[in-house]
Amino acid sequence: QKEVEQDPGPLSVPEGAIVSLNCTYSNSAFQYFMWYRQYSRKGPELLMYTYSSGNKEDGRFTAQVDKSSKYISLFIRDSQPSDSATYLCAMSGDYKLSFGAGTTVTVRA
């Protein structure tokens, strides 16, 4: 079993829809949770960073962490074609980051 599980999709939604992405993990030592966005095999860029359980909002993006269920989510509201990318969850204990496989999202105009 992988440390971090993420459905690779692909996920296709119409413009303006809410995109819902999630990851599950097995390592209880994970404390830091991140979401990265990657366009066309370019370098991943950090979208959201959370440390504890709960919600964190940044513009159209909301990250949720539920440590008791070992489950994290990313929601994108009012999705735009420019949000079409691969989204990777990442998490860490005290040293290395472990990444999910990434979910490919396409937002149709």
CA distances to 7, 49, 68, 69, 108 from 46, in Å: 19, 8, 24, 24, 23
Q: Does 100 bind other proteins (CB under 8 A)?
A: yes
Q: Of these, 34, 72, 76, 107, which contacts other proteins (CB under 8 A)?
A: 34
**Which CB, 16 or 54, lies closer to other proteins?**
54
Q: Does 61 bind other proteins (CB under 8 A)?
A: no
Work out how close the CB of 54 gets to other proteins at its nearest, in angstroms, rounded to a whole number: 17
Work out how close the CB of 97 gets to other proteins at its nearest, in angstroms, rounded to a whole number: 6
Q: Does 58 bind other proteins (CB under 8 A)?
A: no
Work out how close the CB of 15 gets to other proteins at its nearest, in angstroms, rounded to a whole number: 27
Q: Does 82 bind other proteins (CB under 8 A)?
A: no
Beta carbons of 16 and 109 less than 8 angstroms apart: no
Beta carbons of 75 and 87 less than 8 angstroms apart: no
Residues that bind other proteins (CB under 8 A): 31-32, 34, 36, 41-46, 49, 88, 92-102
